[in-house]
Structure 1
Amino acid sequence: MRKVYLENHQIVSPLGSTSQENIEAVTQGKSAMQSYHSPFMGDYVAGKISEIKLQERFKRLENAEAYTKLEKMMILAVAEVLQAHQEIPKEKIVFIIATTKGNVDALAEENPFSKERAKLPQLAKRLQHYFKLPETPIVVSNACISGGLAVSVAKKLIQNKTYDHAVVVGGDLVSEFTLTGFNSFQALAKGVCEPFSKDRTGINIGEAAAAVWVTSVKPKEEAIEIIGEATANDANHISGPSRTGEGLYLSVQKALQEAGILASEIDYISAHGTATLFNDEMESIAFHRLGLQHTPLNSLKAYYGHTLGASALLELIFSQVSLQENRVFKSLGYKNQGTSKALNMITTTEHKSLQIALKTASGFGGCNFAMLLKKETE
């Protein structure tokens, strides 16, 4: 079977306009969370990208007024990834977009863009037009596993030799639509979220765009191979996860089978860790069922908030960085055990010998995702 690798990447977020800036901010324990006020729901805490800084960054590209905030975020991320592969014809590259709500803010009355822009195919066409792509990008929209699932789609297309390379970009916004939706569930935290902690009260919403190059060509520098991936739906509830962690359990099991490894060989887990009562509890049960209770684990949600369709992709990039740099990042916000099953939470950013990482994600509608990465050494 054809091998598939992750290579260069770019993250655009409130913590930085490049992957390196983001890695440095997380290393320093910085959080993007700030307090905001909405006439619809009062005060809330979220991670937002500065419109002014985004505009400044986009100036070196073209015609900023023609693109929405989300489109600019995605274009900036993709442009940097493509820059490193200018010699490759775009016909050999599949472009995949991951998002949950896209330009949903275009539905607001005060938004200057047409409401038509809220349709996900329109987002794909905008990126196609900007980068002069021969084909319209594929859109993957499956709740909060979208970013990871988009990389799985890229992997399969490359393994089947339909394409040699892929650019996967994920992005979502902090919008009134999303905020009021989670607020109606009483799922928003009053302060910075505390994944897996006893006193956790819910999530923060964040916004980001992340892009990664997926390829059949082994990178010259330390190669990170996708050795297994899977998705499973627990069919439990439209918004609540399975109480037994069944969907997540099956996803990881299937990914392990494809990789041909044992759970005990996993060195590090990047969990979904939203800081809601039900999600964190479900994950702890699934990881115990898999025998992963002693494997070092973290959540990045207190750094970025839940970036929805971008979250699994952004966190997958950090998993790639962890393997390449032999470093695990502190699970910011964690204070004490808050799940019925204890987990080996990472409480300090430190260097650690790593070979295999597991990235997981779960979302509304019962969807679950798992991907295994391996550092390929000579």
Structure 2
Amino acid sequence: MSKVFVTYNSIISPLGFDSEMVARNIKNKVSGISLVEDKNRFHKPFYGSVINQDLLNSHFRKLNNSEDYTTLEKMMLLCLNDVITNSGIKIDESVGLIISTTKGNIDALDDENPFPKSHAYLSRLGQVLKDYFSFQSQPTILSNACVSGLLAVATAKKFIEEGLYKSVLIVSGDLVSKFVLSGFNAFQAMSNAPCKPYSKDRNGINLGEAIASVLVTSNEKFLNETTVEILGEATCNDANHISGPSRTGEGLYRSVKTAIQEAEIEANNINYISAHGTATIFNDEMEAIAFHRLGLTHTPLNSLKGYFGHTLGSSALVETIVGMHSLNQNILFTSKGFTTLGVSKPLQIIEQIEKKDLNIFLKTASGFGGCNTAMLFKKVAN
């Protein structure tokens, strides 16, 4: 079976409009989280990470002057265009498209939104991207809570292994919208300060918006300096609760264990973990238990939520791309916001930037409904 790689990539976020700038800001411990005062989004100020709309429109006008696109569509078009342009890939029948999102154009349902409410259909989002870039196959729309971005990579890998496509482009994203904010506020999950994953004094999440795009391929002509090979992946749904994670970490434990088995490596071969780390009591504790059961308590670990907030369906793909840059630079990025360990099992939280020879990293994601996804990536020398 041929190797499958994740290669050209792009991120649009408050930390920058390309992944190199984003990685540079993370290396310098810059966060995109701030106090947001926007009554169109929420009735009171909240700590979150949102993209400047004027800056977004300025970038988009260089690509297209049309105002017929929603905010999310503009972001996705920009991000996907970056990867297509930089890779030089030709869009033909051998190239697939996966769009991953939890809510899509959910803001179209707001009364003050200028677009028809029908724009909220995920099929509309797929059609916009297909038509703009002239994809010859129907896009796959993947919406599975907060594992969506990583599950999209696993799905692309399977498409390639089954011979459906030679390459797959993925774009993933969500907005910090009125619907999303009101929902997490109802859960009493939102923090009144910048989030602190795994910390004793944490008190909830920050929400963020970001778009990520990657090229997944078996074609070695697309390898570049940040390319990684997918060694193993797995998804497990423990069906614990509509929103609460398993108290034993069962789903995450099983997904990581299966990914390690597929990769044919040992747990001690993993150089670091890019974890989900939402800064909620139940999520952080669940992950600590799962990693303890897997023998990974001494593996360096970070959560990137202190830089982006929780970007929902795009979070795992954004964090995968940052992990690719981490491997390329042989640098462990700080888990921003961490203070004193606040979970029942030991974790090796990365508290300072560290130079280290890196070869393999584990990316994990967990979400509502009991979904858990894990993937192992290996650096590719180019």
TM-score by structure 2 length?
Answer: 0.97
Which structure 2 segments of 5+ residues have no match? none
Q: Identify which of 136, 143, 147 aligns with 2:145.
A: 143
Amino acid at match of 2:78: L
For 1:85 and 1:283, locate their aligned partners in 2 and report how far apart those are by CA, in whole Å.
36
Match 2:302 to one of 285, 288, 298: 298
Q: Distance in 2 between matches of 1:87 and 1:185?
A: 43
The answer (yes or no) to whether the contact 2:174–2:210 under 8 Å persists in 1 is yes
| Larger deviation, residues 131-140 vs 165-174 | 131-140
Report the more deviating stretch, 253-262 or 358-367: 253-262
Does the Cα contact within 8 Å between 2:207 and 2:309 map onto a contact in 1?
yes
What stretches of structure 1 of length at least 5 have no aligned partner?
A: none
Matching residue within 191, 195, 198 for 2:197? 195
The SS at the match of 1:90 is coil
What secondary structure sits across from 1:122 in the alignment? helix
Per-residue Cα deviation, 1:308-352 (whole angstroms, up to 9, x for no partner): 010000001111111121111100000011101110000112221
2:53 alignment partner AA: E
Residues matched between the structures, number = 378
In structure 2, the partner of 1:63 is: 65
Structure 1 residue identity aligned to 2:261? Q
Residue in 1 aligned with 2:50?
48
Q: 1:166 aligns with which of 165, 168, 172?
A: 168
SS state at 1:66 partner: coil
| Counterpart contact for 1:235–1:365, Cα < 8 Å | yes
Alignment-derived partner of residue 29 in structure 2: 29
Matching residue of 1:113: 115
Q: Which amino acid aligns with 1:315?
A: E
CA distance in 2, matches of 1:267, 1:170: 26
Q: CA deviation at 1:64?
A: 3.3
CA contact (8 A) 2:364 2:372 kept: yes
* Partner of residue 336 from structure 2, selected from 332, 338, 351: 332
Task: Indicate whether 1:250 and 2:254 are aligned.
Answer: yes
Aligned residue in 1 for 2:6: 6
> Is the Cα contact below 8 Å between 2:7 and 2:224 reproduced in 1?
no
| 1:115-137 CA distance string (max 9 Å, x none) | 00111111111111211222231
Superposition deviation, residue 89 in structure 1: 3.8
Name the CA shift for 1:355/1:86 in 2 (closer, same or farther; >3 Å). closer
Runs of 4+ residues deviating >6 angstroms: none
Partner of 1:181: 183
Q: Provide the rounded CA distance (Å) in 2 between the counterparts of 1:220 and 1:99.
A: 26
| In 2, Cα distance between equivalents of 1:220 and 1:316 | 16
1:307 corresponds to which of 302, 305, 311:
311
Provide the residue aligned with 2:356 in structure 1. Answer: 352
1:37, CA displacement in angstroms?
3.4
| Contact kept? 1:55, 1:64, Cα under 8 Å | no
Q: Which amino acid aligns with 2:18?
A: T
CA distance in 2: counterparts of 1:189 and 1:22, whole angstroms: 23
Partner of 1:84: 86
Residue 75 of structure 2: aligned partner: 73
Name the CA distance, whole Å, in 2 between partners of 1:347 and 1:64.
Answer: 45
RMSD value, Cα: 1.3
The 1:274/1:20 distance shift into structure 2, 3 A limit, reads same
Change (3 A) 1:56 1:35: same
Using the alignment, how far apart are the partners of 1:93 and 1:41 within structure 2? 43
TM-score normalised according to structure 1 size: 0.98
Counterpart residue identity of residue 3, structure 2: K
Alpha-carbon distance in 1 for matches of 2:66, 2:354: 40
Distance 1:91 1:359 in 2: 30
Distance 2:90 2:130 in 1: 17
CA contact (8 A) 1:64 1:72 kept: no
Q: Where does 1:311-326 land on structure 2 (aligned, <5 Å)? A: 311-326=315-330
Any idea what the Cα deviations from partners look like across 1:214-272, whole Å, max 9, x if unmatched? 11022444541001000001111000000000000000011011101111111100000
Distance 1:165 1:88 in 2: 10
Deviations, residues 278-322 of structure 1 (Å, cap 9, x unaligned): 000000000000000000000000100000010000001111111
Question: One-letter code of the match for 2:57?
Answer: Q
Q: Does 1:259 align with 2:259?
A: no
Q: Distance in 1 between matches of 2:354 and 2:168?
A: 32
User: 1-side partners of 2:381 and 2:305: how far apart?
Assistant: 30
> Could you say if the C-alpha distance between residues 115 and 318 of structure 1 is closer, same or farther in structure 2, counting changes exceeding 3 Å?
same
Larger mean Cα displacement after TM superposition, 278-287 or 41-50? 41-50
Aligned twin of 2:366 = 362
Contact 1:270/1:299 (<8 A) preserved: yes
Q: Who is 1:376 aligned against?
A: 380
Further displaced range: 78-87 or 332-341: 78-87
Alignment pair present for 1:269 and 2:273: yes
What's the CA shift for 1:106?
Answer: 0.5
Within 1, Cα distance between the matches of 2:92 and 2:355?
38
Q: Using a 3 Å threshold, how does the CA distance of structure 1 residues 188 and 10 change in structure 2: closer, same or farther? A: same
Moved more, 197-206 or 78-87: 78-87
